[in-house]
Amino acid sequence: MRKILLYGLGVLILLGTFFGAKYIIDNNNKPKPKVDKVIKTVFVETVKNDTVPITIAANGTLQAKERLELYSEVQGIFQSSAKDFKVGQPYRKGQTLIRVNAAEYYASVQSAKSEFYNLVTSLMPDLRLDYPDAFPKWQAYLDNFNIDNSVPPLPETSSENVKYFVTGRGVYSSYYNLKNLEQRLGKYSIYAPFDGILTEALVTKGTLIRQGQKLGEYINTSVFEVELAIGKTFSDLLKLGENVELSLPQSSKTYTGTVSRVNGRIDPATQTIQVFVEVKGEDLKEGMYLEAQLEAREQPNAIKISRKLLVDESEIYIVRDSVLDIIPVQPVHFSPKEVVVQGVPDGTKILSKSIPGAYAGMLVKVNESSTPSSANTETVE
């Protein structure tokens, strides 16, 4: 009886376990998540091959065409200037940039003038007696002589005897020595040769200036030049007098320059040639970085696309029946942002804006808008 009860209890436990497990399994069937298929919206354009102008980008920095580095040829104290001798100070043509105190040297020049006047005066008695024809000219010279003005040129004479007589008295040598002193006196003042602005000032009023010392830098702000380095294969693109369009990076401002100089030598290291373009503009500043787009040639039967659309430098994506495909192309010319390619049949729909994660066979939807903004996505069940 005991054995029968134990067998019966075991059978009941087994049956309960079976039905319990079956109940758990039947109630554990969760619905599978519904996966949405993502179809990306792309922007396309229809290819129409045409003649594409190929442009070459060149760049350089502006430099003032007229520049004056100020150096002192004399020694003395910086006495005055027409304006404050400081960076950014504009001057007009003829205004005094720097005047060095020349009182001591000026006195020596005046003394030399007085000695020269006395020398010529000592000739007059002999000229009156021996060369009466030359006497009136030299008398007029003395009458017009002003010690406060520059020494006037000596009287001209056709008589060889008069020349020998005047030369023997040392008049000519004294005259040219005096002119030399006057020339050096003029170097105590530096005048602006053109309208411009001071870009460097190394001295101030009261400074002791020494001979050969650099004083500053002065430039003309109305005319600038930009140096462009052009590859030797395109050296014939720019000729003297030709107009060049220049622009500021990341700006809509453009300027029209003119080729002013072309170097006749090719740089052996870079295989480029220097071309200087003259440009004017009120808002231009020395040191500005300018870019130029030079028309090189025209490429027939080609299209221009963004470099971002190029795959492995030789392929592009196209759209066929709402599916992406990839075809080979032949790049002709690369620019920083665009590339000119050949080999795309007319009527082919190519991407006009790159999409992330693109691959051949990818299902896409063509956006009918003609202006690409950003790649959208659409989900379908």
Q: What is the CATH number of the domain that holds 70?
A: 2.40.50.100
Together in a domain, 272 and 245:
yes
Together in a domain, 270 and 135:
no
The residue among 271, 298, 325 that closes a domain is 298
Together in a domain, 91 and 113:
no
Q: Mean pLDDT, to the nearest integer, of 345-353?
A: 88
Q: What is the CATH number of the domain that holds 340?
A: 2.40.420
Together in a domain, 204 and 156:
no
Residue at 36 is within a domain: no
Which pLDDT does position 102 carry in this prediction?
93
Which pLDDT does position 245 carry in this prediction?
87
Residue at 35 is within a domain: no
Which pLDDT does position 36 carry in this prediction?
56
Residue at 232 is within a domain: yes
Residue in this structure with the two tokens 């003029």, named with its chain if needed: 186
Task: Indicate the range of 34-43, 99-108, 345-354 predicted with least confidence.
Answer: 34-43
Q: Mean pLDDT, to the nearest integer, of 153-179?
A: 90
Q: What is the CATH number of the domain that holds 272?
A: 2.40.30.170
- Smallest Cα–Cα separation from 323: which of 359, 356, 348? 359
- Smallest Cα–Cα separation from 150: which of 95, 205, 86, 106? 106
Task: Tally the domains of the chain.
Answer: 5
Q: pLDDT for 119-146, tens place per residue?
A: 999 989 988 888 888 889 999 999 999 9
Q: pLDDT for 63-75, tens place per residue?
A: 999 999 999 999 9
Which pLDDT does position 55 carry in this prediction?
78
Q: Mean pLDDT, to the nearest integer, of 104-123?
A: 93
Residue at 376 is within a domain: yes
Q: Mean pLDDT, to the nearest integer, of 89-111?
A: 94
Residue at 271 is within a domain: yes
The residue among 269, 298, 327 that closes a domain is 298
How far apart are alpha carbons 320 and 309 in whole angstroms? 17
Which pLDDT does position 53 carry in this prediction?
84
Together in a domain, 206 and 347:
no
Residue at 324 is within a domain: yes
Together in a domain, 215 and 71:
yes
Q: pLDDT for 188-203, tens place per residue?
A: 999 999 999 999 999 9
Together in a domain, 342 and 315:
yes
Together in a domain, 70 and 204:
yes
Residue at 305 is within a domain: no
Residue at 145 is within a domain: yes
Percent of the chain with pLDDT over 70: 93
Together in a domain, 75 and 92:
yes
Predicted TM-score of the model (pTM): 0.64
Together in a domain, 214 and 228:
no
Find the domain containing 336 and state its range.
Answer: 41-48+310-380
pLDDT for 372 beyond 60: no
Together in a domain, 128 and 166:
yes
Together in a domain, 333 and 369:
yes
- Asked if residues 298 and 237 have their Cβ atoms less than 8 Å apart, the reply is no
Q: pLDDT for 253-301, tens place per residue?
A: 888 999 898 888 888 888 888 889 999 988 889 999 998 877 777 888 8
Task: Indicate the range of 234-243, 327-336, 337-346 predicted with least confidence.
Answer: 234-243
Which pLDDT does position 379 carry in this prediction?
39
Across 48-73, b (16+ Cβ under 10 Å) vs e yields ebeebebbbebebebebbbebebebe
Angle at which helices 160-168 and 103-130 cross, to 10°: 130
Which pLDDT does position 313 carry in this prediction?
84
pLDDT for 374 beyond 50: no
